[in-house]
Structure 1
Amino acid sequence: MNTWICKTTVAALALSLLAACEEGQGGAFLQGLDTGAAPPKAIALSQANMAFGAVTLVAPKGFCIDKTSLRQNFALMSRCEALGALSAGANAPVGILTASFSAASATIPSPSETAAAFGLNTVTDPVVSDRSVTFRANGRAPAKGLSETHWRGTARVGSQMMGLALHGPSGGRAIGAEGRAILDQMISSLAADG
């Protein structure tokens, strides 16, 4: 039974991210990554209510939430300066961070289950706890100029399961050890609320 619940959660997270892509969320932002210019009508937020108020998503230090990407179950974040908040993104690595939410299940998907759900390979550096999982993997990059290697995380936050993906350029800080620290920071801040 736990396996079915776990697969259901992974499938729900996958569908949330796929729906976000199909609806074009963050599309203008992703196209502007090459130039470093803020997308048209970008509004940078430091936090947002998600999952109909069940979770307050707080962007990690130096990152802001792109208000135009927000849905109840999805948010896209990047360096604040990429979203027009020039002074807020100092020293943050270049990259994009997505967060998606679905109803929590009894178990957190393992790195291999998450990798299978998203078509990822070469899973490395897994860290598993009773509340979260983080790992690095390879998969299709969401935009030109970003590495296929990226960080993934899943965490139980109150009644919700949060899925995270952090992408950065090849050789960039976001795909190194600093990337995991960013996911850990987000998970810790949300776990304290949940």
Structure 2
Amino acid sequence: MSTWTCKRSIVTLVVTVGLSACSADSSDGGFSLFEPIEQQETPDGARKNHALRSAKMARGEIAIVPPNGFCLDKRVHSRDFTVLARCDSLGGRGGAQDAALGMISVAVAPAADDDVAAHVLTALVQGQGEIVEMRQDGDVALAHLRGDVPDGADPAHWRGVIRIGSHMMSMAAYAPPGGVIAGAQGQQVLSSLAMRSHDASLASDLAGNTATGAPETRKGLGGLLRGLLD
């Protein structure tokens, strides 16, 4: 593995996750992403919808598919980082599905050929607070930490990393004080986000490769039916 490439990827992930948290914490007049937007006071009484149900990152190579009840915040979404929160905290109508209040920051960076999610996560969490535990959930490397969180968040939080194609995706899940995402549910939320995004990204890549391949010979009805039954 190229040490420089790995370090550069880690630096990119650290910086963009930090920018995500700062942007989410202070955006649009300081609204908290830990409460529904209907409960927040606005200067003009407007109720804007900032929610995205899905989006692409890394020049379209990574598809971000939120966990149930979460949406992306289109105010801070870019090709390198994004922020997710419960849909109603972003003004989304419906779709919260009783999800826990919380905020998730996501960053992506190019990976070296032999970068491994667990190794990248270990480097990311060094000096970022007390490490309560580290674990692996399939392809997702996860860490439970205390400390170094955005204003208004519970000190306990989760971080995770998954490799998707030629990129590493880093995630951090924060909860309001005492929120369930600060505990075991934070792991579930990050694992869901990681695997949904992983599967959607690979499916999108496969569809793109198929679309650019050689066209198939047009089949008659009989040939089409035989193909479906084979």
TM-score range, shorter chain: 0.7 to 0.9
Retained in 2: the 8 A contact 1:31–1:143?
no
Q: Which has the higher strand share?
A: 1
Looking at structure 1, the residues matched to 125 and 171 of structure 2 have their Cα atoms a distance apart, in angstroms, of 13
Distance 1:5 1:139, change over 3 A: farther
1:37-52 paired onto structure 2 within 5 Å: 37=37, 41-52=48-59
Shift of 1:129: 6.3
1:80-99 paired onto structure 2 within 5 Å: 80-99=87-106
Distance 1:29 1:76, change over 3 A: farther
Distance 1:103 1:36, change over 3 A: same
CA radius of gyration, larger in: 2
Q: Which residue of 2 aligns with 1:113?
A: 123
Q: Which residue of 2 aligns with 1:125?
A: 133
Q: Which residue of 1 aligns with 2:71?
A: 64
Aligned alpha-carbon RMSD (Å): 2.5
Distance 1:139 1:7, change over 3 A: farther
Shift of 1:92: 0.5
Most deviating of 83-92 and 55-64: 83-92
**TM-score when scaled to structure 1?**
0.85
Looking at structure 2, the residues matched to 160 and 74 of structure 1 have their Cα atoms a distance apart, in angstroms, of 13
Q: Which residue of 2 aligns with 1:27?
A: 26
Distance 1:44 1:37, change over 3 A: same
Retained in 1: the 8 A contact 2:21–2:150?
no
Shift of 1:128: 3.0
**TM-score when scaled to structure 2?**
0.73
Question: SS in structure 1 opposite 2:37?
Answer: coil
Shift of 1:3: 4.9
Looking at structure 1, the residues matched to 138 and 181 of structure 2 have their Cα atoms a distance apart, in angstroms, of 25
Looking at structure 2, the residues matched to 188 and 37 of structure 1 have their Cα atoms a distance apart, in angstroms, of 28
Shift of 1:25: 5.5
Retained in 1: the 8 A contact 2:140–2:191?
no
Q: Which residue of 2 aligns with 1:154?
A: 161
Question: SS in structure 1 opposite 2:95?
Answer: coil
Most deviating of 169-178 and 67-76: 169-178
- Structure 2 gaps, min length 5: 203-230
Shift of 1:96: 0.4
Match of 1:31, as an amino acid?
A: G
Question: Identical aligned pairs, as a percentage?
Answer: 25
